[in-house]
Chain A
């Protein structure tokens, strides 16, 4: 018999404060009841098969007050409308927002502002139960925001719990580009749990780029629930550069015809790091396209999980859905568990999926060395080349150069901008 371990989730929660955000009853009604019956999932749960939570379960989180910091140290791009959270405090707000872009922080967000966004995982339910702060961003009808919106989250201090909950409304015909950065400072055995509910109205356009650059001992959970209406175009770029443990759950509901969905992921991991990307694209309506490309490079004893699901519902004809996951393992001890899945219930669709995992192309490394390039540099060039196509999908040049700088500093990877 499996020993009941409900005690561990309850004990994990024992020091956590109740939610401070005024969430609506549709979210909170059954949440406590559901959580009381739940525990940390084990490897018996399909969605957590390769991602163990036992070490996290043993940590006693404790919120502490962090000393003021200079958020500029974590700034990714200069020219943006920026909001910064240090733990659960909003420490910086751009004050020159253009017409049509409105942002509410924390208790400015009314209960009625929150739209229903329900996710059954323990991660999302913990977020509802303990959400401390977050933002609600609204891009008004027909508005095209002239600069990127940048939201920076910094987890500061050991054993720090951070629960952020956010909502993004892109109204009819509106267009925005949002950069989200997750960082940490002295975050030993800390925990960040962030939830984004994203609503794309008809004919709206959103590019959302997440940079996950947490410290080497932080546990990070990120959930995005996206709803796309007719004629909308959504891109999510997930770039994971650091973090002891990173779990991404992305769920896209394509709820209208003629939508386009792009999910791009890049993860570059070393040491004992673990990254897990779970994505679902649910095609409910016909005549839509979705494209998914996740690429990873794993060194040392790092591990990665990719699980991408595409559902095509019975009436969703004329769907083009493409999904691909490619990995390069740089060491014998690195591991990738990749599982692309398609579930198709319509008969007039074009779908493909694939997964590849290989070693570094040593013939290419030899070729470069034979021209006088050092082995280290040659390996780095070949790795960078492998990642180039997915990273080139990051739409903002400023953000791309930020990513390239990080790769150069952390992995000695030198990517070149597109000429």
Chain B
């Protein structure tokens, strides 16, 4: 699905990623954990196509396409989705209207017919129920006046609507209470198929009680320094990151 090779990236001349390697296959869930400043959100931003970062070396292959060559919207149309750590409020742009535009632009890109209004509304009903998002919220301005939990649920709602091949959840669990966390996790689990993949970027092990990862990676100082199964998350929760830092130094 996605293969990241030797990725080096910097912002304003400061190196953040220093040779990151990661391969994610269809049907897999990967968790990327790591201490603050390790480069977790930088990785998410680069995958989504934020232009502030300079890629100094490396390559990313996304289902046969050179991802770094694609614009932000082309990546989305090819099936990449980023659930934002801080979803943006856009007063005046209705949540469902923009999603309809997005879905139809993606369909046009794939040479498919535009979705009918009826079909679209049925999809909205279905997918908003999945994340228990009030259908009134679905038709309001994008994220405007939404609580923190509603914003994160709205991200997963959008993910469900767009049905991406690869979803990257950037700190989606931060700031969520346990009920919201359960709802979000349940949404992600229900969307999982053997055709798609998920990268969960998180600080805490908590979310991984609900979404069981196939692999857990530790990102430290711009590189993946350790990869193991789901048990690694528990170990990190218990011992913190210091032992990994020490191991790396030694």
| Cβ-defined contact, B92 with A389, below 8 A | yes
| Cβ-defined contact, B90 with A373, below 8 A | no
Q: For B106, list chain A residues within 8 Å (CB).
A: 372
| Cβ-defined contact, A369 with B73, below 8 A | yes
Q: When A363-B88, A368-B90, A388-B92 are in contact, do A373 and B50 touch as well, CB less than 8 Å?
A: no
What string of 1s and 0s marks CB contacts (under 8 Å) between B68-89 and chain A? 0001110111000110100110
Q: Cα distance A248–B106 when bound, in Å?
A: 44
| CB contact between B162 and one of A367, A371, A382, A386 (< 8 Å): that residue | A371
Nearest opposing residue in chain A for B105, CB measure: A372
| Cβ-defined contact, A416 with B94, below 8 A | yes
Question: Distance (Å) between the CB of A409 and the closest chain B CB?
Answer: 18
Q: Cα distance A361–B71 when bound, in Å?
A: 19
A14 at the interface (CB under 8 A from B): no
| CB contact between A370 and one of B48, B94, B99, B105 (< 8 Å): that residue | B48
Q: For A419, list chain B residues within 8 Å (CB).
A: 94, 139
Q: When A370-B49, A373-B102, A419-B139 are in contact, do A364 and B76 touch as well, CB less than 8 Å?
A: no
Q: When A416-B94, A416-B97 are in contact, do A373 and B88 touch as well, CB less than 8 Å?
A: no
| Cβ-defined contact, A385 with B76, below 8 A | no
Identify which of A363, A373, A384 gathers the most chain B CB atoms within 10 Å of its CB: A373
| Cβ-defined contact, B98 with A373, below 8 A | yes
| Cβ-defined contact, A368 with B98, below 8 A | yes
| Cβ-defined contact, B84 with A367, below 8 A | yes
B101 at the interface (CB under 8 A from A): yes
Q: Cα distance A388–B88 when bound, in Å?
A: 18
Question: Distance (Å) between the CB of B142 and the closest chain A CB?
Answer: 8
A352 at the interface (CB under 8 A from B): no
| Cβ-defined contact, B88 with A374, below 8 A | no
Q: Cα distance A268–B50 when bound, in Å?
A: 29
| Cβ-defined contact, B73 with A375, below 8 A | yes
A366 at the interface (CB under 8 A from B): yes
B91 at the interface (CB under 8 A from A): yes
What string of 1s and 0s marks CB contacts (under 8 Å) between A296-338 and chain B? 0000000000000000000000000000000000000000000
B109 at the interface (CB under 8 A from A): yes
Q: Cα distance A256–B103 when bound, in Å?
A: 54
Identify which of B71, B92, B102 gathers the most chain A CB atoms within 10 Å of its CB: B92
| CB contact between B88 and one of A367, A372, A384, A416 (< 8 Å): that residue | A367
Q: Cα distance A257–B226 when bound, in Å?
A: 76
What string of 1s and 0s marks CB contacts (under 8 Å) between B36-73 and chain A? 00000000000011100000000000000000000111
| Cβ-defined contact, A372 with B92, below 8 A | no
Q: For A367, list chain B residues within 8 Å (CB).
A: 84, 87-88, 90, 142
A186 at the interface (CB under 8 A from B): no
Nearest opposing residue in chain B for A374, CB measure: B73
Nearest opposing residue in chain B for A414, CB measure: B101
Q: For B102, list chain A residues within 8 Å (CB).
A: 368, 371-373
What string of 1s and 0s marks CB contacts (under 8 Å) between B139-152 and chain A? 10110000000000
B122 at the interface (CB under 8 A from A): no
| Cβ-defined contact, A385 with B73, below 8 A | no
Q: Cα distance A363–B93 when bound, in Å?
A: 14
Nearest opposing residue in chain B for A383, CB measure: B92
**Size range of the interface on A?**
20 to 34
B158 at the interface (CB under 8 A from A): yes
| Cβ-defined contact, A385 with B105, below 8 A | no
Question: Distance (Å) between the CB of B233 and the closest chain A CB?
Answer: 27
A136 at the interface (CB under 8 A from B): no
| Cβ-defined contact, A384 with B98, below 8 A | no
Q: For B98, list chain A residues within 8 Å (CB).
A: 368, 371, 373, 381
| Cβ-defined contact, A372 with B94, below 8 A | no
| CB contact between B76 and one of A369, A384, A386, A388 (< 8 Å): that residue | A369
Q: When A371-B162, A373-B105 are in contact, do A366 and B72 touch as well, CB less than 8 Å?
A: yes
What string of 1s and 0s marks CB contacts (under 8 Å) between A342-380 and chain B? 000000000000000000010110111111111101100
Nearest opposing residue in chain A for B101, CB measure: A373
| CB contact between B92 and one of A363, A369, A384 (< 8 Å): that residue | A384
Q: For B81, list chain A residues within 8 Å (CB).
A: 370-371
Question: Distance (Å) between the CB of A400 and the closest chain B CB?
Answer: 15
Q: For A389, list chain B residues within 8 Å (CB).
A: 92
Q: When A374-B105, A375-B73, A377-B101 are in contact, do A368 and B93 touch as well, CB less than 8 Å?
A: yes
Q: Cα distance A416–B96 when bound, in Å?
A: 12
Question: Distance (Å) between the CB of A32 and the closest chain B CB?
Answer: 50
Question: Distance (Å) between the CB of B132 and the closest chain A CB?
Answer: 21
Nearest opposing residue in chain A for B77, CB measure: A372
Q: Cα distance A377–B73 when bound, in Å?
A: 11
| Cβ-defined contact, B71 with A372, below 8 A | no
Q: For B72, list chain A residues within 8 Å (CB).
A: 366, 369-370, 375
Known: A369-B71, A370-B48. 18 other contacts (CB 8 A): A361-B90, A366-B50, A366-B72, A367-B90, A369-B76, A371-B81, A371-B162, A372-B105, A372-B109, A372-B162, A373-B73, A373-B98, A373-B101, A375-B72, A382-B90, A384-B92, A385-B93, A389-B92
8 pairs of residues in contact across A and B, judged by CB atoms under 8 Å = A367-B84, A367-B88, A367-B142, A368-B98, A370-B72, A371-B102, A374-B73, A384-B92
Interface residues of A (CB under 8 A from B): 361, 363-364, 366-375, 377-378, 381-382, 384-389, 416, 419
Give 10 nearest A-B pairs by CB, closest first: A385-B92, A372-B76, A388-B92, A369-B72, A371-B102, A367-B88, A372-B106, A372-B102, A385-B93, A369-B73
